[in-house]
Amino acid sequence: MELRHLRCFVVLAEELHFTRAAERLHIEQSPLSRIIKELENEMGVLLFDRDRRGTRLTQAGTVFLQDVTRLFSSLDVARENARAVSSGYLGVFRIAVPCGCIDPRLTTFLARCREEDPKIEIRLTEAPLVEQLHGLRSGAFNVGFACTADVGDGVEAEPIWIDSLVVAVSTRHPLLVHPQIPLEALLRYPLVMADPRLFGQCNGELNRLLHTATSKPGIVEYVASMDMMLTLVAAGYGVGFANAARIGVCNRSDIVTRPLKAPNVIHTTYLLRPSGCTDTSPTPPLDRFIARLHAQMDE
């Protein structure tokens, strides 16, 4: 079984169309068909169902795709580790962070990691939640940071930073008459919310509060970053919500924040890691990273 055969399989599994897959691989369709047939014969299983309606993965093909994806992730990790060692490092530590919503405390923490573990190369990747979870399960990422604990099997979520959630409005907004903004007053205005396709169902307490209100929330826009949310809020499109720690470093003169007049409305940042990676499992540098993070939380 050759790696080029496996790459052909992955591309076809992504495209589910022989002509498009062949174009991506820069080969003709007939060699691609032959490679897939050889792979199926070698394995003794049917990987694709092919008929006039199209090409579909079989159940065996779906399972095989998951394992092959992990294999290629492992190869990528091995290649990066070799390059890092060649450059004088002892290895690479890969961290996934939410797109456009990096916590300011992460800056201080990463500087501390580089100072205390200078022989480990730390690489940050901005990734939506789905990509983070896929990378954590496949081994492409060592840890991730997210705003939700709803991560499914194979990944653990540990709360690390808990902050108050504040309402963000433009400088002349009528809601500024309230030192603390009542929920029913807030819901008279359209909302600008984080895109759940990128971040998952973050701010669970807020979502539950909004859906128990007498008036149903009117969402004018879903955004992919805090910068976009603040831009729309400042321009008068609607009202936004923000982690108090993150918005505190934004220095926006066209935005004012107010607390929401409701109990227990908080924003939680979670550390994500593959299941089974605990503080008692000696997996350097992961154990040092987590111990250092816990120490920062206690300071």
- CATH number for position 43: 1.10.10.10
Residues of the chain with pLDDT under 70: 77, 81, 84, 86-90, 100-101, 203-204, 276-284
Together in a domain, 262 and 118: yes
- Decide: 107 and 45 in contact? Cβ < 8 Å: no
The domain of 277 spans 91-299
Q: Check residue 139 and report its DSSP letter.
A: T
The pTM score is 0.68
Domain CATH for 194: 3.40.190.290
pLDDT at 171: 93
Together in a domain, 138 and 56: no
Together in a domain, 173 and 123: yes
Say if 114 falls within a structural domain. Answer: yes
Q: How many CB atoms lie within 10 A of CB 86?
A: 8
Together in a domain, 119 and 193: yes
Q: Where are the beta strands (DSSP E) in 101-250?
A: 120-126, 143-146, 155-170, 181-182, 191-194, 219-223, 239-243
Both tokens of residue 81? 């580790």
Pairing of strands 219-223, 191-194: parallel
Say if 249 falls within a structural domain. Answer: yes
Together in a domain, 186 and 250: yes
Say if 51 falls within a structural domain. Answer: yes
Together in a domain, 270 and 194: yes
Say if 78 falls within a structural domain. Answer: no
- Which residues are within 8 A (CB) of 216 and not within 5 positions of it... i.e. 6 or more apart? 187
Together in a domain, 135 and 17: no
Domain count, the chain: 2
Which tens digits make up the pLDDT trace of 243-290?
888 887 788 899 999 998 887 788 888 999 998 654 434 456 788 888
Which tens digits make up the pLDDT trace of 41-77?
999 999 999 888 889 999 999 988 888 887 887 777 6
Task: Give CA–CA dist 246/161, Å, rounded.
Answer: 11
Handedness of CA 200, 204, 206, 210 (dihedral sign): positive
Together in a domain, 123 and 32: no
Q: Check residue 217 and report its DSSP letter.
A: P
